Chains A and B, each alone.
Chain A
């Protein structure tokens, strides 16, 4: 395993833990808000004078949505690591077999360049959100109805785009050097479906 592959695998391990943990946290937080609301409604029926503390549950869904963006971008990065992003494989099949490694490399490079472009735009946007939040001492630049800084939520986009750009650049290198060429026949793999043999 090359240093590049080792780095890639280490990053993927961290991303799996982070994405899985965040997804679990999202589920627990939103579920807790449902239970809290039902408990409050039940209590209001039997003891209308008792006031149930809010426990910040109003912020459960905005918080979970912020995490959704992070889980999604971490997942997108993992999907690049596992070659799970959908592609129209018909296009790559049209080229002569000898050309395919070069064509695949070019395709990955274009993808990496696209990610760099979005990374730059998203970086500017995060900087703007951060400046607004800082300049107003946190009074503005927060997610609707919460005190969660917006920049923290949307920082997922440049993070994800940076790792995607790195991964697709590495993939281009692998394709160019002939270490990996997609056979264009891996629909089940792209859909994340394991059949009996490879489960």
Chain B
């Protein structure tokens, strides 16, 4: 009964048009007051503030404002034009070349901006008129750009991945740099499928191929070279062991100022304060939701929500593949009803420990699957950020945009199935990097293997032997190290040594 009351209260807040952070905070406060047994309600509610304050101990969070600022600085310049020109010159000669170039431009731009909606606006604004002018069907053009724009949440440094890494702790903790690395191939896989779709449609569009021009490619490459160094610098620095993901944010921030203001001279220094204030505003609207969701996570941990879910799946006798199928259906529905960041903050800490402990799913693999779901969430109505943005920038009714993305949404859902049941798509490159076999089978018998294992009482992981000096760490040992660091509130460890 109290649960129904709480649900009605949150629904009423939604009907009144209250801000999302009030919905999250109100739900958190309601949960603490109605479902916990403390004598003093003020002490219960103070835990919300305590969790908000805990942000000062989460180093990974520091990278978010830096990447937001870096993306804001870079996108204020002419980077979208430079990158689309380069993509056109590089792949425009293929069948459906202009459409393929749109996908490529979205990938590279997303790597710089880190934001799906910003990618859609920047690249879509340039490429949509060009696609239509070259004879591509309007609906196809809208669907392709809207879907390719959503790749932003998978291309490192992706804010969605950072939020996932912040929200999961204990047994399911992941290192953000590993998550970044594991997300690259699935993102390229999805982009490849979208490009394949573009080629397929482009075959029947006369004039869809551009003439290959070496000089144009050289000029475009020269113009975009500095922009391309930013993702290379960030990813190279992280995986080269030069800096952590958090520090990479600061490096990206300084590099973007250098590129946009000094090298490209697209952004005058005088505009920087306004751009930084803009980034701060964007971060502010995100931060409130994030810090209030910490309180909700605290409540869910206190009532052992993952344990409850574990009990349900044990009672339902679900196998690993059935569990993952169910989780993904639930996540797609949630992604359609909630914004992706809130859905990650609330549901990742509940579902990830069950997947990892109960079914032996690799935590990195589950993280990637979760983020692909959130990408779908950007495209699944009614709460689909990229559909709203597309309707606004392409000036089309919401329903038409929704219909336009259906084929590409189907392609991404197909890719999701492959990423779920072929974990190597995500974890293979990581395995190779760490000296393990590329192939990692899906734990089809995960339930049988893990159902009887003891459940950690406080989210702590079972002890794992430490590696011998000089010996490579096993996956378990690496996870143990990540958990220990997460438990200390420190940034999750990089698997590469600091110089």
Which residues of A come within 8 Å of B, CB atoms? 15-17, 19-24, 26-28, 30-31, 33-34, 37-38, 41, 61-62, 64-66, 68-69, 71-79, 82, 84-92, 94-95, 103-104, 106-107, 110-111, 114, 117-118, 121-122, 124-125, 143-144, 150, 153-154, 157, 160, 182, 184, 187-188, 190-193, 195-196
Contacts and interface: CB of A to CB of B under 8 A. Distances in A.
A87 B56 contact: no
B284 A76 contact: yes
Nearest to B256: A27
B314 interface: no
Interface in B1-45: 13-23, 25-26, 29, 42, 45
B276 A24 contact: yes
B21 A85 contact: yes
25 contacts: A16-B280, A19-B284, A27-B250, A30-B246, A30-B247, A33-B247, A41-B499, A65-B59, A68-B55, A73-B284, A76-B21, A79-B281, A84-B281, A84-B282, A85-B20, A90-B14, A103-B16, A110-B13, A125-B46, A144-B57, A153-B56, A157-B53, A160-B284, A187-B389, A192-B281
Contacts of B48: 118, 121
Interface of B: 13-23, 25-26, 29, 42, 45-46, 48-50, 52-53, 55-59, 61-62, 65-66, 69, 117-118, 121, 125, 242-243, 246-247, 249-251, 253-254, 272-274, 276-285, 287-289, 291, 339, 382-383, 385, 388-389, 392-393, 489, 498-499
Given A77-B284, A110-B13, A17 B243 contact: no
B18 A111 contact: yes
A114 B26 contact: yes
A78 B289 CA distance: 15
Contacts of B49: 118, 121-122, 125, 157
A104 B17 contact: yes
A107 B392 CA distance: 25
Among B23, B48, B272, B284, max chain A CB count under 10 A is at B284
Minimum-distance CB pairs A-B, first 4? A75-B284, A72-B287, A76-B284, A19-B280
Contacts of A87: 17-20
Contacts of A104: 17
A176 to B, nearest CB: 13
A187 B384 CA distance: 10
B285 A61 contact: no
A121 to B, nearest CB: 5
Given A75-B280, A195-B121, A121 B46 contact: yes
B392 A187 contact: yes
A23 B65 contact: yes
Given A103-B17, A143-B56, A61 B284 contact: no
Contact of A89 (B17, B21, B42, B61): B17
A54 to B, nearest CB: 16
